[in-house]
Amino acid sequence: MKRAIPVLVLSVAGLIPVWRYAPSHDTGSSPAPAQAAAPASTPSASSSGGTATTVVSGSLVDTEKGPVRVEVTFDGDEIASVRMLQQPDHPQTAAAVPKLIEETLQAQSADIDTVSGATVTSDGYKESLQAALDAKG
């Protein structure tokens, strides 16, 4: 009897994370590959001095973790900044976004590494980013 109580308590404590687990937002019975749900928006440009600043939104990419959409600001032909317009509400995503943006600014392209632990979000980010780069021309 002395061992039964600690075993019962530890068993219940071990099951609490299972009960609290929240699965990702699943849109169907099987995971679907990421696909673009909307085309990239048209570029909007403003001129300040010698170089034109252009802001382009990438396409909305529906991933199994949630929608992903980026907005890219160009200073001439150079990527000046990237902003997430939509992203999954997930801890790995929140940690991955700054890394993805930093790599994009360094690479000046969508040819960047996937962030470990946030592969789905990284793939959606790169797809939306490439759509924005393609829309810019």
Asked if residues 83 and 68 have their Cβ atoms less than 8 Å apart, the reply is no
What's residue 53's pLDDT?
86
30: tokens are 């099987």
Report the share of the chain in percent with pLDDT over 70.
74
- Helix orientation angle between 91-107 and 119-136, rounded to the nearest 10 degrees: 40
For the segment 44-74, what is each residue's pLDDT rounded down to a tens digit?
555 555 568 889 999 999 998 899 999 999 9
- pLDDT, residue 21, reads 65
In the predicted model, is pLDDT for residue 27 greater than 50?
no
Model confidence pLDDT, tens digit, residues 81-113 = 999 999 888 888 888 999 999 999 999 999 999
Other Cβ atoms closer than 10 A to 17: 8
| Geometric angle at alpha carbon 93, from 19 and 23, rounded to 5° | 25
pLDDT of residue 94: 87
- The pLDDT of residue 82 is 93
Q: Write b or e for each residue in 73-89: b if 16 or more Cβ atoms lie within 10 A of its Cβ, otherwise e.
A: ebeeeebeebebebbbe
